[in-house]
Structures are given as C-alpha cells and as structure tokens.
Structure 1
Amino acid sequence: MRATNGRPSRWAGAAVLGLALLLAGAAEANIFGRDDRRDIRPEDGLSGVGVIVCAGTTRRPTGVLLASALLPEDRDYEVIASAAHVFIGPQGRLTECAFRPHGTPDIAAAIIFIESGSRTPYRDRDWHNDWAVAVLDRRLPGDIERLKPRVIDDLAAVALREAGARFMLAGHNGERGPLQMSEHCGPVRKRSSHLNRFDPRVVNHDCDMMPGWSGGPLILRERGTDYMIAVNSQASNAITHVSGRPFSGSLNPNVAIRVDGRFKQAIDRLLRAGAAGVTAHCLVASRDAGPGLPC
C-alpha cells in the first residue's frame, strides 16, 4: 500500500508482514479484547459458508455461497465469493479447486471458473482488489443457506453498527480447525493511522479471526436476512494478537473488500449466467471498463 502523497507508507512493511502471516498459517489470531469466536451452529443459518480446497496446498481458506433473484431457477451451477489471494500459491495460481459447504467433503463441488480483482494483491499492494467470484460445476442442495450480496459504503456500514445493527464474520479457523463465527463485532471507523483511511473500497472491522478466515463473509443480519457486504482480506498489523491480548487501536484493524464496483459487476454477471460463454478458466478484472484478462 502507499500513502496518499504517493510515497511508500511507513506502514507498508506492516501490511506485507500481516498478510504474509495469514498466508503462512501463523498460529496467532487477530483478537480485539475478549476472543468471541465460536463454532458455527445449525441455528446460525450459515451452512453456505465453507472451505476452498485446491491441489498442491494444505491451506483451507473460506468462501460463501451467494443467493440472488438473478439466479435462474433451472441453473446447473452455483456462485461463491472469496478473496483473490485464496487462489494464489507460491508458484502462482492454484488449480483443481473445490468448494466444501460447511467443510463437508461429501457435498463438495468443483470450481470451474474464477474471476478476481488482482493476480497478486499481496505483491503489488493491490489490496482493494483482493476479491474473487467463482462458479461451481453443479447445483447444491436447496437447504444450504446462501447470503445475498449487498452494496453498503464504509461510512454507512459504520453508522449502521453504531445504530445497533448486527454484524458478524464467518471463517475457517486455521487450516485444520472448524468453521467459526465472530459475532460481537463489525465495521469500525477509520483512523488517521490506518493504511487505508482514504480508501472507501475497503471496510475495516474488529472481528476476531486467524489464518483461514481469508475470503470469509462480513455479514449484516437485518430483519431475518443475511447480507454479505464484504469479504475478509487481511490483517495488516506488524504484530498478531493471541487470545486475550487487547488490540491496539493505533494499528491497522482487519480489512474486508466491499461488495462494489467490478466486484459487484462480476457477482451479478456470474449469478445470471454462470460460466456460460467463457472459454478461459480464470479471468482478472481489467483496470478500466474493458473485459477481463486471462489469469
């Protein structure tokens, strides 16, 4: 990341280290005060949150099934959202990926197409484009809960929380652990010390998390409906936080990429048609309004 004056931010090293810890599978977690993570239960209505499994890696990051009126009733596919870096390994783009709702291998579906905002968000400091939308090769059971994508800007999200709205973050707890949720948390106001303080494309949050929560949905629960407003991207702190250690507000909080812009366009297009008419397995959104580029 860069400071707004164009010079490298003195916090850039912290951002790189923070994301590297997520990718490396560090044992620590980003905890804000008391650790409120707990296992997801059936009554939580989050069975559409699952893990992404790719060949050549033991990482088990998070993805979520999406719901929308745009989905055709006779479709033979599903659409999930996650983070771009979820599909990137040491040797480049990961292949032979599948999605397991709630981590269950028996109902896993292969990922046949991926569109993302960046090839290398962690290398090019392209953090705000760390989003991905993927198409599954078949339709999953209808009783699996799906989240509706919703555009809410970062200031409006903070205002909703301060007015009492309920937010939560869901993710896969480590590379071997269960799917969990952090439920007493949500968007936070950006401070002058935050790396992305002038970037409305991302929302900062204080949900408890650890490696494996990359790509997990930041959820607004409103009038009985769950909306995905962003996908979890990174923890930008130079020091990760173990359970019980309070988070310093002077550091950068956890960051999620908002549903908006090219991210929202990719979601809507793939919800309508799946991977129909796409010959490539993977595309990266162009920086202008042009078509996506092959990965």
Structure 2
Amino acid sequence: MGAYTDGRRRLTRYLHRLTLAGLGLMSTPVITFGNVFETDDRRPVTQEDQLDFVGVIACQNTGRLPTASLIALPDRYRERTFEILLTVAHAFYTPQGKMWNDCHFQKEGEPTKAAPITGLIVGTTTPGQGWSEDWAVARIGTRMTDHEPTPQLTSSHPNLPHAPHLSSARPSPAIVRFEELMAMRRTGGTVLLVGHNGEQMPLLLSSDCGPRRKTSGHYNLQDNRVFNHDCDMMAGWSGGPLLLRHQGKTLLIGINATEYNSVVHQQGWPFDGRFNPNTAIRINQEILKAIETLADNDNQPTPQAPLRLCESRNGTTC
C-alpha cells in the first residue's frame, strides 16, 4: 500500500510539473507542450543580443502577454514623437472579434517601461477565422529609447520602405523571398525568433533555425503569406519577430503566428512540414503600407488618447 501511495505521489508531482511547464510558470525554458524540434535551444535574452526592441502587449482585463517588436523607421521620421511596432492581431482581439481595451507595450517585458498604444491597423479583426492575416501594426504615442545610441546604416535591400538610413539595432521590416533568404544564410546570415513561455518572463530567443522549404504535402504549400519554420516556441511566442541578421543589418522578415498543429505538440521530434510546422506571417506590401499609414498620420494622438482602429481592408485609412 505504501509503495502504491508513493507511486501516486510521484505521478502527481510529475503531472503538476508538466502543467506548470505548459503554462510557462517554471523559471527555466522547458520543452513541454511546445513545438520544439530535436534539441531545445531556447535561452534567455541578454543585453549582448541587442534585442531590447522586443517586448509584450498587455491589455486590460486579460492576463495574456503576446510578444511584439519595435521597428526601425526611415531617417525622415527622426524627429517623431511616436514609435511603430509589429505583432499579431490576436494581441488585441479574441478569436471571435471582441477587442481588448487599454493596451500598452511593455518594452523588454518590463511593466515599468510601458507605453500606451494609440493607433492600430490589423489584418483581421477575427483572428480565429483567418490566422494567415493575424498581423497588427500599432502606434505608441511616445518615443522609447534603446540601451545604446544606434548608428545609422545605408540600406541596400530593395524592399525596405523609404530606407536611405536605418537603425542598426532595431529591425527593418522587409519582404524577403525564400531563395533570397537561403542565399543570405549561405553568406553568414542567421535567423532567430524572440518570444517567451506562456505569460511569464524572461524573454527568450531561439536561434540556428528559420523558414523551411515547402514541398509537396506540406502545410501552407500554396499560401505565400506564411513561412513554415523550425524555431522552438510555445504559447506566448505569438507576435514575436522572426529576424534575419546579415552583414550588420537586422531585418524583420516575419511575425510569429502559431504552431500549425495545436492539438499535438511536438517535443524533440524532427521538423516535418507535413505535420508539425511552426508558422510566421511574412512581411508583405499590405503590412508595409500599414506602417506608412500610421507613421504619416497627421492627426497624431496624445499619449493619453484611446486606442483607435484603422480598417486595413478599406484603404488603410485612419
């Protein structure tokens, strides 16, 4: 009887640890209940990673904390009084279309570095019905500083919007074709994803990963709006930036969306595009237009102004 009781206690403790891991309540990265391929390489972000532009979205009446990223803007916005960030639409909407209120961006995931979101353009207001359009461009009604002054670089990439001068620290959103990406990786480019486990800090990164080629039988084969990728992640990584670093530049090439198969999470298995890809929404012309619309909006809101929704399906007008 004693052995039976001890066995039940051990099983209960084990199941409790799995539950905590799945909710992101353990202090170290874990592989439970997440799409983690082969070796789990997630680790806490350090200052040396130069990722202080990443943070989380916190809205009133919800404990959810989707990931988000500030972006670089062209030199003509040098004197701006705002910032622009990219994340997922479900940071602001329930799957059924109910909008969260009083949302803030917490830089580096720290509540003491919170700034109110005052403008928003989304790909969909019902992310539960169209996750391939589950992107959001948001405007913060104040400037946010980085750890270090950021030198200006000249961009040579043809798809960067209005980009004669871009920050070397914050990422520049860019449309990058898969073959371009592979060519840059062959010449020293690296891809990484930033997020966090569940609704808990710290921010983590997954490196030595990235978009995978889609072949016959793979999920999303005909959907050019998304990358299938093998960066390690779990709940909480939605909205995180998929970054490409190459020759001193940081490009934001995708917005992390979801694990495609959310029913059966993989732990330590090889990536299989037919069954378990993680996915990211690719930067596209609509997203670039939304960035420009929010940045050029003449009716600049005050930091205390309520969040305003711009309908991207109706000409991205505010």
TM-score category (smaller protein): 0.7 to 0.9
Q: For the Cα contact (< 8 Å) 1:29–1:241, is it kept in 2?
A: yes
- Structure 2 residue identity aligned to 1:109: A
Structure 1 residue 45 displacement after superposition: 0.5
Q: For the Cα contact (< 8 Å) 1:32–1:247, is it kept in 2?
A: yes
CA distance in 1, matches of 2:105, 2:137: 12
Residue number in structure 2 paired with 1:98: 104
Alignment of 1:223-234 (within 5 A): 223-234=247-258
Flag structure 1 segments of 5+ consecutive residues without an equivalent.
1-23
Structure 1 residue 273 displacement after superposition: 4.1
SS where residue 101 of structure 2 aligns? coil
Residue number in structure 2 paired with 1:140: 144
Kindly tell me: are residues 67 and 135 of structure 1, through their superposed partners in 2, closer, same or farther at Cα, counting changes over 3 Å? same
- Of 152, 175, 187, the residue aligned with 2:199 is 175
Flag structure 2 segments of 5+ consecutive residues without an equivalent.
1-21, 25-31, 149-168
Moved more, 196-205 or 69-78: 69-78
Moved more, 202-211 or 271-280: 271-280
- Of 125, 129, 133, the residue aligned with 2:133 is 129
CA distance in 1, matches of 2:220, 2:274: 13
Q: Deviations over 1:39-87 (max 9, x none)?
A: 0000000001001101111111100011121552221111110011121
Residue number in structure 1 paired with 2:164: none
Structure 1 residue 183 displacement after superposition: 0.6
Q: For the aligned residues, what is the CA RMSD? A: 2.5
Q: For the Cα contact (< 8 Å) 2:137–2:290, is it kept in 1?
A: yes
Task: Tell me how many residue pairs correspond in the alignment.
Answer: 265
Residue 40 (str. 1) matches residue 45 (str. 2): yes
Kindly tell me: are residues 129 and 158 of structure 1, through their superposed partners in 2, closer, same or farther at Cα, counting changes over 3 Å? farther
Residue number in structure 1 paired with 2:287: 263
- Of 206, 212, 233, the residue aligned with 2:230 is 206
Report the structure number with the largest CA radius of gyration: 2
- Of 84, 89, 98, the residue aligned with 1:84 is 89
Please report the TM-score for the alignment, with normalisation by the length of structure 2.
Answer: 0.76
Structure 1 residue 151 displacement after superposition: 1.2
Q: For the Cα contact (< 8 Å) 1:117–1:129, is it kept in 2?
A: yes
CA distance in 2, matches of 1:132, 1:25: 25
Q: Deviations over 1:60-119 (max 9, x none)?
A: 110001112155222111111001112113671111100011111112100111100001
Alignment of 1:45-60 (within 5 A): 45-60=50-65
Please report the TM-score for the alignment, with normalisation by the length of structure 1.
Answer: 0.81
CA distance in 1, matches of 2:147, 2:250: 15
Kindly tell me: are residues 37 and 187 of structure 1, through their superposed partners in 2, closer, same or farther at Cα, counting changes over 3 Å? same
CA distance in 1, matches of 2:68, 2:311: 18
Identity of aligned residues (%): 38
Residue number in structure 1 paired with 2:278: 254
